[in-house]
Structure formats: structure tokens, C-alpha cells
Structure 1
Amino acid sequence: MNSTEYIHTNNDKKNISMIAQFPPPIHGLSKAVDTIYHSYLKKEYNFEKIDITNNKLFFFNLFKIWKSKADTCYFTISQSKGGNIRDLVILHFIIRRKKKSIVHLHGGYFGQLVESMNKFQKKFNYKYLKKVDAVIVLSESLKSNFQNIVENNRIHIVSNCVDDEFLISDEEFKVKKEVLKSQKVYRVLYLSNFIESKGYRKVLEMANIEKKLCEKGKLKKFHFDFAGKFFDSKDEKIFLNYIKEKNLEEYITYHGVVTGNKKRELLKKCSIFILLTTYQIEGQPISIIEAMGNGLFIITTKHAGIPDIVVNGKNGLIFEKSCEVVSVYEEMKNITPTLYYQIMLNNREECLNYYTESNYLNNIKEIFDLN
């Protein structure tokens, strides 16, 4: 398939060029873009797909942007210095062609990135971003990424969502609530890419703490499920060797990359979601929202836009980024069944009220219509 593709053409509808990273690979940004592209919105607008994932197609994509007949360009920007140079060139072309422009930031590091740039690159970011028509960020605190660059009235908040396919039904949730009341072993889920700063090694250590306690006669309380993609085969080997060397096979299940029904079933049977992230370019992890929608208790860190959606004691436990593994494990071990149950209800309700796929798409549509 060509990197540029129209999926619908109707001269009575607004033409929108989606200049973005599409799957594969699957990560928060590409998944969010893909949700828009394959939604009901493709019937509302004429979407043009320009996939900028492969930098080898940079000049080809520039040509397509220059020749595009789109009224509006929807553009997801990078959070690296090299990627930003590419983005500045793309913004230059969009502005020169006098297109309406919507910039979408899927992260929380962009402001720091700009401030760390040399004078020349920083100047051009200010120059071009001041000319865009709208900027989208994931939560209130992430608006600061564009402080003194973009006027506040042009910055819009659109939270991520849980796609409908990964949200269990009300009947399934009812069953899950009943199971929780008599549950003895809680399944703890790490569902994210296997990047060290996402905290997966800390979760491994927690599984080892659990095993040592069980060997001392304590009843088993947790089983740890890991799912996601390794980008380095050496890291995967270290992970699997740790499980083998520590004899953690009884305490850990490694699922690899999960999609579709397999991912849905995993979210359904797990009770706790854990992401002790310090990932530099973190924004608002979709995996947290998916977990909330399926009634999981959230354990995470005060990082990026996470405190905007996770409140300690209401949605789960939220720790400082410097948290110690033993402390996290101890607090998790001491959660009462009553608190588990209440937070399960809180998270399900909050997700259905604010983080559904329909809410996300309607918010995006409102911005598309304004621009």
C-alpha cells in the first residue's frame, strides 16, 4: 500500500490530510491515530493518509504534502531533536501552501525539548508553531509544553481513550465484580512496550519478592502477567533468563505482544495494572485508560500527564518516580479487598464517562470542524 492513500472521496466534505505515524509498530501515538483513521469520521471527511513512520520516504512525503488538495493538515509531531527538524520542514510546507493546520502532541516532553535546542532550531519552532491554527495535548498539565509559544485559546485538550474492542461489556464487568469478592490471588498486569524506563524490571523484582515470601510460608497473593514488545533481543533474553534463574515460572506469565481478543481477555482477567514509568517522552499512557475501563486497580508514578487521570486513593496508588520496589510491593500487598472493589467501580465509571472511543472521536471532530 502506498504511503499516501485516500480512503474516501466526496467533494462536499472537508479534505483532511493525516500526516502521522501509523502502525506498525504499535505504540500510543500510532494507535491513537489509527483509531481516528478507521472510525466513523472517515464518513464525515475525505481523509488522506501520509504515513511518516519511514524516514526514507521523507522527500516522497514532502512531495505529497506539497501536491495535496487537503483543506486541513492534521500533524503528529515528534519529541526528538532529529524528528523535530523533519517536522519543521513539514510545517514549512504546510504553511507555505496556506493550509489549515492542527498539531497533535502525544507526549509530555516537547517543551523541555525545545528549551534544550540550539538558538537556531528553537527560533524556528517558535516561528512555525505560532502560525498553526490549533494544537492538541492529552491533558491540562501538558498545555505547558507550548507555554509562550502558542496562544492558550488555540490549545485543545483531547484525552486518549480505550477502544471499544478492548472494553468488556457491562455483563462481563458484573461477573468480574463477583469474582473479585472471593479472589485469593490477584493478577498484576504490565502491559506496555518493554523499555527499561517504563518500569518492567521493577515489576520483575516484585515477582521475586512475592516468591521469597511464599517460600517463607506466606500465602501466594499475586500472579504477574507481562505483555508487550521488546525492541532489543538482548533485553528479552535478560528478562526470560531472570525468570528462569529465579524460578519464577509459577509467578509470571509472559504473553508477548497481545492484540485483539487476546488483549481483551487479559484485561478482563487481571485485577491490578502496574506501570512505574519514568519514560522521558511519556504523555498519557493509553494502557492506563484501557486498564481503568476494565476495572483494574492502577499502580503508577507521578510523571508526565499521569497525575491528571490517576488520583491516589481514588483510581489506585500513585508513587514518586524515585519509588523503591519494596515500598511499592508492600503498599500493594496491604490494599484491602474493600478498597480494591471501590476503586474497581470508580475506574470503570470514570472511563465510561470520560475516556470512551466515542468521546475521543467527538472531541477530535469538534476540532476538525473548527479548522
Structure 2
Amino acid sequence: MKKIIVVGYRVDKKRGYITGQAVMIDLFINIMKNNKFPVKAISLNYIFGGNTKIGKTSFLRLLDYLIIFTKIIFTISFNPKSVLYFSPVSNKFGSIRDYVMVKIAKFFGYQIIMQQFGCRFQEFYNSLSPYFQKMVQYYYSQATIITVEGEKAKEQFKNMPFTKKLVILQNGLPETNLEINEVPKHIDINKPIKLFYLSNMIESKGYMDVLEAIDILVNQYHKNIIATFAGKFLSVIDDEKFKSPEEASQNFIQQIEKYGLKEHIKYFPSLFGKEKANEWNESHFFLLPTYYVFEGQPTAILEALAYGTVPVVTRHGLIPEMVNEKCCIFVEKKNPKQIAERINKMIDNPNIYTLLSKEAFQNYQQNYTLSAYENKLLNIIKQYIQL
């Protein structure tokens, strides 16, 4: 049986590094191993360039690439006629890496699986010179199969010469042992209403909009709110307010004190296992009012659905393909007042809230279970890849 060489970012619990893409790549590796496919994984995680903004390149990140790419070349060279799995990158330097990696893999007779996350390809492609556009077209065209997360993700490749290789593979929830206490959930006005923000603390993920909405709920609507924020502070190329994660973290603490919310807010750099399950079980609403430039299908939304926790989200990226008004609350980007108004309205209408919670869980069961995702992935591999 042919070996599968996996190149990608991995979840790193020690460093608190977790992204939706890393979660899904780890899931791919686990599914392959559980089905007895031989796998060799090469991590793209930072070695030296850990403070580099997401989507940007630095000298230390270049040094990371040099070390990692040496591993990739040796691994591909010593495992000819195998299968290469990776997620293509939407930046110029990353595209050079992908081009060379694919070129070497094809020389050694590889089949190639690309898993495209997000829907930023067209924007990235249009920003390139004609020379780089041809280079990108080349390595995408060399793929045996390219999986995308949904119809909108598929549309971003319109008019590309490799569209026939595109196959939709929506994300699935990687969790296997969900500790769900109660579904659907109910609101008791005599008890605290619990909100949960679970994502990296990135400006464009909307965590400050969530904080401002909590200020309105507590200090204007006088609601009994307890909120948990869990995620690592990171810098991204579309940051506007803060120059560094440290500055963003300091500002977050200052705003909590300014609004008088110290008794209403908990913060964790990361949450895993039982601690995370407890937060999901206790939370009524999951908040992700994102406008993040690299957004695709956030896996945290799938977790919210599984626990019957009603998502409060924007119509951004591929989120509208994941949820609808029957199981979530849509809000406008950068509009904390609207977030507060819609949560307040739901608190005052607990019967409607319970219906949303019920629909959220049913959406998960029908579309996003681990077994459903594993079956779709294995069927795609069996159909297109010779192992």
C-alpha cells in the first residue's frame, strides 16, 4: 500500500496553537491511520518564527521554511510513487513552496491530494503577476483531486483549467466522545445566561465586538451574563488596531476593567478535553462575529451545533453554508449593539431559544458527525486515488 505524505499545520496544545485548519489536518491523519493507511506527517508549525503575523513572512519564518522544506524534499525523494496531501497557501512565498513541492512530487511519480480551506483563492490569484498566476495554475493542475469546503469555495475557482478536479468535502466535527448533558437547551431567567467565545483572539474574529456586546447586555439591559473567552492572542495581516498580540491582550484586560465586567468574564489561552466540554454544556450562546480574511468553515461552529449551543455569527466565509436562521442568529459585522439586541431578545423569548437549540443539534447530527465526514473522505480517496 502506498504511503501518504501529509504536509500541514498541526494542533500544538503545549504552545496553545490551534486553528480550524490544523484540527482538520490532524483529523485527516487520524482517519488514515485508523483505516490502516501508512502515513508520514511533516509539520509546518513554527520553529523560530512564532511571532510572525498570520499571512505574512519574516526572516525567522523563512528559516522555518528552509528547515521544513529540507525535510519535505528528503521525505518525498525516499518514498517514490506515494501520495502527497497538503493544503495550498494563499500568499506569494507559500505559493513558491507549493510549486517546488509539487514539482518534486510529480518527478517522483506522486498522486496529489489538495485540501483547500477557506475561499480566498480568487483574491490571492488576482493579486499576482501573470508569471505567478501561471505558476499557481500549474501546481493546482497537477493535483489528482482538490477538495473544497462548499459551493462558495468551489465558485472561487471559476474559469480555472482544473475545475473538473474539484470535489466538495464539508468539514466534520473531529470530537468522538462528546459529553453532552442536555439537548435542546433551555433558558432560565433566574440563572446566569452563559456566552462562549472559542477561537483565536484575532481582531477580525470579532472578540472585541463580543466584549462590547456584553457591556451592553450587562450595563444597559441589566442581564445576568457570564462569558468565557478561550483562545490565544495572535496577529494577522488584516489587524487594524493593535501592533502585537501583547498589546491586544493588554487592551482586552483594560476594556474589561473599564466596563466593570471582571465578575462577568473568564479568559483562558486555550481549552481542551473536559474543561472545554463543561463550557459547551453550560453555555447558551456561542459567539463568532467574524470578518477574518482567511475564514472558511470554523470547526467551533460545529462544536456549538453538537452541544445545542446557539451560534451568533456573521454571514462571512462559508458560514452561511453551515447554518441558517432555524439554528443560529445572524448579525452584521462590527455591530456589537446588534449582537446585544438579538441575544437580549432571545433571552426574553426562551421558547424560541429552545427551538433554535434543538435545530442546531439536528443540523449537527444530519450533516457534521465524525462518521459522516470519515465516510465522505474515504469514498473520495477510493474513487480518485490508487493506493
Aligned partner of 2:129 in structure 1 is 118
User: 1:298 Cα shift?
Assistant: 1.1
Which deviates the most, 184-193 or 144-153?
144-153
Aligned to 1:199: 206
Q: Quick check: 2:24–2:174 contact (8 Å CA) kept in 1? A: no
Q: 2:101 aligns with which of 90, 95, 99?
A: 90
Classify the secondary structure of the residue corresponding to 2:323.
Answer: coil
**Residue-by-residue CA offset, 1:234-290 (whole Å, 9 max, x unaligned):** 211111121123221122121221111111111111010111111001111001111
CA deviation after TM superposition for structure 1 residue 59, in Å: 2.3
Query: In the alignment, does 2:229 pair up with 1:226?
Result: yes
Distance in 2 between residues matched to 1:195 and 1:83, nearest whole Å: 21
User: CA, structure 1 residues 253+263, in 2 after alignment: closer, same or farther (shift >3 Å)?
Assistant: same
Partner of 1:173 in structure 2? 182
2:20 is aligned with 1:28: yes
CA 1:195–1:70 in 2, change beyond 3 Å: closer, same or farther? farther
Q: Residue 45 of structure 1 aligns to which amino acid in structure 2?
A: F
Matched, 1:16 2:4: yes
CA distance in 2, matches of 1:134, 1:44: 21
C-alpha distance 364-150 of structure 1, shift in aligned 2 (>3 A):
farther
Equivalent residue number for residue 166 of structure 2? 155
For 1:304 and 1:154, the matched residues in 2 are separated by 22
Letter in 2 for 1:206: A
Write the distance in 1 (CA, Å) between the matches of 2:213 and 2:189. Answer: 23
Q: CA deviation at 1:67?
A: 2.3
1:104 corresponds to 2:115: yes
Tell me which amino acid in the other structure corresponds to 2:194. R
Look up the SS of the partner of 2:159 in the other structure. Answer: coil
Which residue does the alignment assign to 2:335? 324
Deviation digits for residues 178-230 of structure 1 (CA, Å, limit 9, x no counterpart): x546664321111000000000000111121123226xxx4x24322111111
Give the conservation status (yes or no) of the 8 Å contact 1:52–1:61. no
1:369 aligns with 2:369: no
Separation of aligned partners in 2, 1:164 and 1:337: 29
Distance apart, 1:82 and its partner CA? 1.8
Tell me, in whole angstroms, the C-alpha distance in 2 between the residues paired with 1:30 and 1:274. Answer: 21
Residue 187 of structure 1 aligns with which residue?
194
Task: Give CA-to-partner distance per residue, 1:327-365, whole Å, 9 cap, x none.
Answer: 221122112212210111111111112111122222221
Show the counterpart of 1:137. Answer: 148
Q: Letter of the aligned partner of 1:75 in structure 2?
A: F
Q: In 2, distance between residues paired with 1:105 and 1:203?
A: 29
**Aligned residue number for residue 84 of structure 2:** 73
What letter matches 1:32 in structure 2?
M
The answer to whether the 8 A contact 2:42-2:71 is kept is: no
> Are 1:358 and 2:346 matched, yes or no?
no
Deviations 1:17-44 (A, max 9, x none): 1122222232111111112222364433
User: In structure 1, how many angstroms separate the alpha carbons of the residues matched to 2:43 and 2:112?
Assistant: 17
Q: What is the alpha-carbon distance in structure 1 between the residues aligned to residue 179 and residue 363 of structure 2?
A: 15
Over 3 Å counting, the alpha-carbon distance change for 1:38 and 1:263 in structure 2 is same
Alpha-carbon distance in 2 for matches of 1:199, 1:266: 19
Conservation of the 8 A alpha-carbon contact between 1:315 and 1:346: yes
Unaligned runs of 5+ in 1: 1-12
Segment of structure 1 superposing worse, 280-289 or 23-32: 23-32
CA RMSD, 1 decimal: 2.0
| Residue 310 of structure 2: aligned partner | 297
Change (3 A) 1:58 1:114: same
**Corresponding residue to 2:258 among 240, 245, 258:** 245
Deviation at 1:150, TM superposition (A): 4.8
Instruction: Summarize deviations over 1:106-148 as a string: whole Å, max 9, x none.
Output: 2121221111111111111112212211101111211123222
Unpaired stretches in structure 2, ≥5 consecutive residues: 46-63, 235-244
Quick one: distance in 1 between partners of 2:79 and 2:190?
57
Identity score, percent: 26
Given that 1:166 and 1:264 are in contact with CA atoms closer than 8 Å, whether structure 2 keeps it comes out as no
Would the aligned equivalents of 1:161 and 1:290 in 2 still touch at CA under 8 Å?
A: no
The separation in 2 between residues aligned to 1:166 and 1:332, in whole angstroms, is 30
Distance 1:210 1:252 in 2: 13
